[in-house]
Amino acid sequence: MVSEFVFATVQYDSGDWDSAPLVPANIIDAVARYTSIPVRPSGVNVPLASPEIFGYPFAYLTGHLPVRFSEQERANLREFVERGGFLFIDDHNHDIDGAFHKTATEEIARTIEPLRELPNDHPLYRAFFTFEDGPPTTSHELNGWGDNLVHEHLLAVERADRIAVLYSNKDYSSEWSYHPDNKRFLSLDNTRFGVNIVVYALTH
C-alpha cells in the first residue's frame, strides 16, 4: 500500500470556500486517468483553522468573496507552508480588481510573504504535461466577467526552490467545474494542468 493522494478543499470562515464543488472530482479523475499515483476517489473539505489541515499537504482554496483569515487560520497556514504543505489558490472571479484577489493576496502577504510572478519556464509547466507558454489560458478569462484579461503568469510564494503557495487569476475553478464524464466532449482535456499541479506538489 502506498499512501494515497487526497485532494483537500480548504474551508475558511469568511467568503464562499465551496464555490467550485466539482473541481476536486475533476482533478482526481485526471490524476487517476493519466498517472499511476494512488489517489483517494473523493476529496475532503478541511477547515483551515483546524489541525486537520496538516494531514493534507495539498490544499485547494477558492472563492468569489473577500477573504479574511482568523488568527488561528493564519497561524495554521503559516505552519502548513513551513512544514512543506502546498496551497493552490484560484481566484474564481478572475478579476485583479476583484474582492477575492485583493483580499486573498493581501492575506497571503500578511501571513507568509507577498506573491511574486512565476516565470513561464518554471518546472511546474513540465511536471507532467508540457506547457511551453506557461499557464494554459482558460475560456473564462475573456467571458465578459472579471477583468477580461488573459493573465500571462501565475503568482507564487516559494520556499527552498519549491512552490509553497500557487496563486491563479485564471479562474481554473470555473474552467474545471464540470462533471468528469463530460471530458469526452472536449477535444483537449483542460484539466491536464491540474495534473501538473498535483504531480509538482508530490515531487518537489
Residues 128-167 that bind another protein (CB under 8 A): 128, 160
Task: Give residue 83's identity as a one-letter amino acid code.
Answer: R
Please identify, using beta-carbon distances, which residue of 25 and 127 lies nearer to another protein: 127
Choose the stretch contacting another protein; rule: CB under 8 A; options: 3-11, 91-99, 149-157, 180-188: 3-11
Write out the DSSP string of the chain. --PPB--EEEE-SSS-TTS-TTHHHHHHHHHHHH----B-SS-EEEETTSGGGGG-SEEEEEESS-----HHHHHHHHHHHHTT-EEEEEETT--TTSHHHHHHHHHHHHHT---EEPPTTSGGGGSSS--TTSSPP-TTTTSSSTT-------EEEEETTEEEEEEESS-HHHHT-S-GGGGGG-SS-TTHHHHHHHHHHHH-
Please state the closest distance from residue 203 (CB atom) to another protein, in A.
Answer: 4
Please identify, using beta-carbon distances, which residue of 116 and 204 lies nearer to another protein: 204
By CB under 8 A, tell whether 114 contacts another protein. no
Please identify, using beta-carbon distances, which residue of 138 and 196 lies nearer to another protein: 196
- Selected binder of another protein within 11, 35, 120, 137 (CB under 8 A): 35
By CB under 8 A, tell whether 202 contacts another protein. yes
- Residue reference for cell 474551508: 11
- Selected binder of another protein within 21, 38, 41, 114 (CB under 8 A): 38
By CB under 8 A, tell whether 2 contacts another protein. yes
Please state the closest distance from residue 31 (CB atom) to another protein, in A.
Answer: 9
Binding site for another protein (CB under 8 A): 1-5, 34-38, 51, 54-55, 57, 82-85, 127-128, 160, 199, 202-204
